[in-house]
């Protein structure tokens, strides 16, 4: 489990998170949603220890400050919202950077397997800068997958921590990546993803947390969290959550939204 308690963050002297409590379980896909500027990315960056924060964070029942940097690299892979490269690396060179951070550096074919998993088989020798934005995003995800390829090692779950992993992707590749994340969780790993698409979240999330105004206003199963009241409060407009048979999966129609 990843557990964050009473997380407070200030950036440039401005409070961004106000005592947020959050948890995610191994074996599940946990999605963080909320409006722009609500603190979703900041929460993820606190969990990855990329910003200064106050509170308590544990990964697999161990305080994050008790980990050495190489131990953290072996237990969780992080995909930021944006990543740039200043030099003309090939795609396979970018993906192999994940091997240097993980524990599978001696596996010769792993980078190619990761590329195939994200729909980039045959792209290995192309230059990264020649790819489209969506292709670059998938190449970075392949790099992160290499880092934590096996979801469980010696009985200890590993984690994918992803900020907007499908933001630049068409619907087919969105579904491909969502299947990849669900497969990782089904095999015992844990996934935390920051996302904007509420309907895609409702399709794939085992648990969801809504962040609004720097606070967690609702957490739990999708059907419990995606209520008219919680969504309308978070997004400052009138939203209606609907369900489809037979699984009663929630969906939100933008046509029913209003600012009043």
For 238-247, what is each residue's pLDDT tens digit? Answer: 998 888 777 7
Can you read off the two tokens belonging to residue 177? 């990546």
- CB–CB of 164/141 below 8 Å? no
pLDDT tens column, 36-94: 999 999 999 999 999 999 999 999 999 999 999 889 989 999 999 877 777 789 999 99
The whole-number pLDDT of residue 260 equals 62
Instruction: DSSP for 51-105, please give it.
Output: S--EEEEEETTEEGGGS-HHHHHHHEEEE-S----SS--BHHHHHHHHHHHSS-T
pLDDT of residue 41: 96
* Closest CA relative to residue 59, chosen from 42, 47, 69: 47
Average pLDDT, the chain: 91
50: Cα separation from own chain's centroid: 15
Return d(Cα 46, Cα 238) in angstroms, integer: 31
pTM assigned to the model: 0.91
* Domains, in order of start, for the chain: 2-82+151-254 (3.40.50.300)
Q: How many other C-beta atoms can be found within 10 angstroms of the C-beta atom of residue 133?
A: 11
Q: Which contacts of 174-182 are long-range, i.e. CB under 8 A and separated by 24 or more positions?
A: 174/200, 176/118, 176/119, 177/118, 177/138, 177/141, 178/203, 178/204, 180/117, 180/118, 180/141, 180/145, 181/29, 182/29
- Round to whole Å and give the CA distance between 225 and 203: 14
């Amino acid at each position: 489990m990843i557990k964050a308690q009473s997380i407070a963050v200030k950036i440039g002297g401005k409070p961004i998170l106000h005592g947020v409590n959050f948890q995610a379980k191994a074996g599940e896909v946990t999605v963080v949603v909320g409006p722009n500027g609500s603190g979703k990315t900041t929460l993820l960056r606190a969990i990855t220890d990329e910003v200064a924060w106050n509170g308590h964070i544990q990964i697999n029942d161990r305080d994050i400050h008790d980990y050495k940097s190489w131990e953290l690299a072996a237990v969780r892979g992080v995909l930021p919202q944006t990543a740039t490269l200043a030099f003309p690396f090939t795609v396979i060179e970018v993906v192999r950077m994940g091997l240097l951070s993980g524990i599978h550096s001696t596996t010769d074919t792993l980078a190619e397997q990761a590329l195939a998993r994200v729909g980039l088989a045959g792209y290995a020798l192309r230059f990264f800068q020649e790819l489209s934005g969506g292709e670059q995003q998938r190449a970075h995800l392949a790099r992160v997958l290499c880092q934590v390829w096996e979801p469980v090692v010696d009985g200890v779950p590993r984690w994918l921590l992803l900020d907007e992993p499908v933001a630049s992707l068409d619907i087919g590749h969105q579904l491909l990546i969502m299947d990849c994340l669900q497969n990782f969780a089904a095999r015992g790993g844990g996934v935390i993803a920051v996302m904007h698409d509420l309907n895609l979240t409702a399709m794939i999330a085992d648990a969801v947390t809504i962040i609004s105004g720097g606070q967690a206003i609702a957490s739990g199963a999708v059907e419990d969290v995606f209520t008219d009241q919680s969504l309308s409060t978070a997004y400052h407009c009138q939203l209606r959550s609907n369900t489809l048979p037979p699984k009663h999966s929630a969906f939100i129609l933008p046509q029913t939204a209003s600012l009043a």
